[in-house]
């Protein structure tokens, strides 16, 4: 397989039984340094340094990259579950979460301190809401595909990304950079890869009922 060029790349992508698996790499990416001790800014936060989760990479394997089937559009499975974004230990958890258009996202505050959920949208889906410690969850549904960046105005190190997709054919890479998109119909598809710091790339992949395909992005 050809060597990938650029800041972010897909490799080792195979399709088998309508599943697409692979790894997202970024050889040049470096982990972001931690910040100051959180408890110094808020005594209700942990006595540890504020993590910077914008870029999480180990041995060039990139975590928290979104991978999804861009086109041709496919219906996928309807969302029947509620996704969760928590504020716990004065960080957003998970850092990256994906939802389908119309799927419920439950935003929680498990901390005993005030947080401010500030969601930045380029399509008019943003909001800004304060949540006291232990407040009732906020539920949101988004109607337009996009990547919405969350932050907390009270604790500047807190950030997260919610990816809103047209269908269920998406995944978020784990610590090893790997992902699996299940149940993809056979045929030629365009895969998109997006990371909040490294941007977006795409590539073609042909999914068959059996066999494998490798491609360079």
Q: Where are the domains of the chain?
A: 1-32+39-76+169-217, 78-166
Average pLDDT over residues 145-164: 98
Average pLDDT over residues 150-165: 98
pLDDT at 6 over 60: no
- At residue 1, the pLDDT reads 30
- At residue 119, the pLDDT reads 98
pLDDT at 141 over 60: yes
Which band of pLDDT confidence, cut at 50, 70 and 90, is reported for residue 180? confident
User: Any idea which residue has 């039984």 for tokens?
Assistant: 17
- At residue 184, the pLDDT reads 84
Q: Token digits for 181?
A: 């998109």
- At residue 76, the pLDDT reads 60
Which band of pLDDT confidence, cut at 50, 70 and 90, is reported for residue 215? very low
What's the whole-number average pLDDT of the chain?
Answer: 87
Q: Give the residue from 124, 116, 93 showing the smallest Cα distance to 106.
A: 93
Domains 1-32+39-76+169-217 and 78-166 share a fold: yes
What CATH number belongs to 78-166? 2.60.40.420
* pLDDT 10s digits, 36-49: 999 999 999 999 99
CATH architecture of the domain 1-32+39-76+169-217 equals Sandwich (2.60)
Specify the range with the lowest mean pLDDT, choosing from 18-27, 147-156, 164-173.
Answer: 18-27
Average pLDDT over residues 132-157: 97
Average pLDDT over residues 135-144: 97
């Amino acid at each position: 397989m050809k060597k990938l060029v650029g800041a972010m790349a897909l490799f080792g992508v195979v399709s088998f039984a309508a599943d697409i698996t692979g790894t997202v790499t970024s050889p040049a990416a470096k982990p972001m340094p931690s910040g100051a001790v959180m408890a110094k800014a808020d005594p209700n936060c942990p006595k540890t340094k504020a993590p910077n989760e914008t870029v999480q990479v180990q041995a060039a394997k990139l975590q928290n990259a979104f991978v999804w089937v861009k086109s041709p559009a496919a219906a996928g499975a309807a969302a029947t579950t509620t996704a969760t974004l928590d504020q716990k230990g004065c960080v957003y958890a998970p850092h990256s979460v994906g939802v389908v258009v119309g799927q419920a996202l439950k935003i929680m505050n498990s901390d005993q301190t005030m947080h401010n959920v500030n969601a930045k949208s380029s399509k008019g889906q943003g909001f800004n809401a304060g949540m006291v410690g232990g407040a009732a969850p906020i539920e949101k549904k988004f109607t337009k595909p996009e990547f919405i960046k969350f932050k907390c105005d009270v604790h500047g190190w807190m950030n997260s990304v919610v990816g809103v997709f047209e269908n269920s054919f998406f995944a978020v890479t784990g610590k090893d950079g790997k992902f699996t998109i299940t149940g993809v119909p056979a045929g030629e598809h365009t895969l998109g890869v997006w990371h909040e710091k490294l941007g977006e790339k795409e590539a073609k992949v042909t999914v068959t009922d059996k066999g494998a395909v490798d491609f360079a992005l």
